Amino acid sequence: MNIKKGDTVQIVSGDDKGKKGKVLQAIPSENRVLVEGINVQTKHTKPKRAGETGGIVKQAAPVNVSNVMVVCKKCNSVTRVANTILSDGTKVRTCKKCNEPLDIK
């Protein structure tokens, strides 16, 4: 999976198509990512104990990784991710369009 926690991604298909957000959690075992403000669902909760209140809670649900693309910080466009080995031997994710490293902050 080429998307990590903290990446800025854009949704490429579905109800939230075109929206951008930050990855809050990557779930590689399920091939899904949790993006802030994307795929928000309402959940109705009942009070479990005395004194507790129930109500409607909005929470983000995971999105399949095939429906998101990484946004490059330098060229500010959606891009695929390439894995490049630098001269010192470190492996870095880079932008396919401008060859700028995505991991270096």
| CA 6-7-8 angle, 5° bins | 120
Q: Give 47-63 pLDDT, tens digit per residue.
A: 988 888 899 999 999 99
Model confidence at 41: pLDDT above 90: yes
Q: Which residues contact 64 (CB under 8 A, 6 or more apart)?
A: 31, 32
Give the structural domain span for 45: 8-71
Query: Do the beta carbons of residue 58 and residue 41 sit within 8 Å?
Result: yes
Pinpoint the alpha helices (H) of 25-91: none
The CATH number of residue 67's host domain is 2.30.30.30
Percent of the chain with pLDDT over 90: 78
Instruction: Say if residue 24 is in the same domain as residue 41.
Output: yes
Q: Which residue has the tokens 């579905």?
A: 14
pTM for the model stands at 0.82
Q: Identify whether 3 is part of a domain.
A: no
Contact 33, 68 (CB under 8 A): yes
